[in-house]
Amino acid sequence: MFEHQRRGLDRSAVWCHAPLGKQEVLVLAEPERSFRPPYVGPSGWLGIVLDRVHDGALRQHLREAYLRVASKTLAKRLAP
């Protein structure tokens, strides 16, 4: 999910599904880059502030999130 200036926040971010425990670790370690999004945060989703994350890290988060929800057929297409 893409977020842009939600509720007065001056940021652009994405929300993505994260493996169990990853959200908590990143939010504590990198609070300027990561956050617990409303509504889906309790389910483990991770919010990532786009202008505070490197492209490679963002790519890895999104790839990991996609592979968690994609069908096996679609996931195979993404394999290196």
How does pLDDT run across 41-74, given as a tens digit for each residue?
999 999 999 999 999 999 999 999 999 889 999 9
Residue in 75, 8, 26 with CA at minimum distance from that of residue 35:
26
The answer to whether the Cα torsion of 28, 34, 37, 43 is positive or negative is negative
Residue in 6, 14, 27 with CA at minimum distance from that of residue 63:
14
- Model confidence, pTM: 0.84
Q: What is the mean pLDDT of residues 3-20?
A: 84
Alpha-helical regions (H) of 1-80? 22-29, 55-69, 72-78
